[in-house]
């Protein structure tokens, strides 16, 4: 069973290339695994991806990938902005409890 996934950075880079780079799109359609390695995804990750993701395919239009890139990037930014960082308050006055 394959359990490898792309990092957010790798996914954003992939979506960008599929939205803008005709040469990369052609290589990805023909040999997705080789294109992912070309993109900088470690070979160990690529071989452990779901086999269905690595089969030759016909891609959607570049505009669909551009939209997906924008939505994915926005979702990541929203998640980071909505994080509430826990704060710890220490009483440094040295009071003793009774």
Range of the domain at 39: 8-77
In a domain, 2, yes or no: no
Distance CA 68, CA 59 (A): 13
Band of pLDDT at residue 12, cut at 50, 70 and 90: very high
Q: Is residue 30 part of a domain?
A: yes
Across residues 9-37, what is the average pLDDT? 96
Mean pLDDT, to the nearest integer, of 65-94? 68
Total number of domains constituting the chain: 1
Instruction: Give the pLDDT mean for 18-42.
Output: 97
Separation CA 51–CA 47 (nearest Å): 8
* The token pair that represents 93 in the structure block: 């006055």
What's this model's pTM, rounded to 2 decimal places?
Answer: 0.75
Q: Is there a domain that residue 84 lies in?
A: no
Residue 82 CA from chain centroid, whole number: 19
Whether pLDDT at 2 is above 80 = no
Query: pLDDT at position 80, please?
Result: 53
37 in any annotated domain = yes
Q: Is the pLDDT of residue 96 over 70?
A: no
């Amino acid at each position: 069973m394959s359990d490898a996934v792309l990092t957010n950075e790798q996914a954003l880079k992939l979506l960008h290339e599929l939205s803008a780079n005709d040469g990369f799109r052609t290589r990805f359609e023909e040999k997705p695994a080789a294109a992912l390695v070309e993109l900088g995804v470690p070979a160990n990750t690529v071989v452990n991806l779901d086999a269905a993701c690595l089969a030759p395919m016909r891609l959607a239009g570049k505009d669909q990938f551009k939209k997906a890139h924008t939505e994915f990037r926005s979702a990541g930014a929203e998640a980071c902005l909505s994080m509430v960082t826990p704060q710890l308050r220490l009483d440094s006055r040295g009071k003793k409890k009774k």
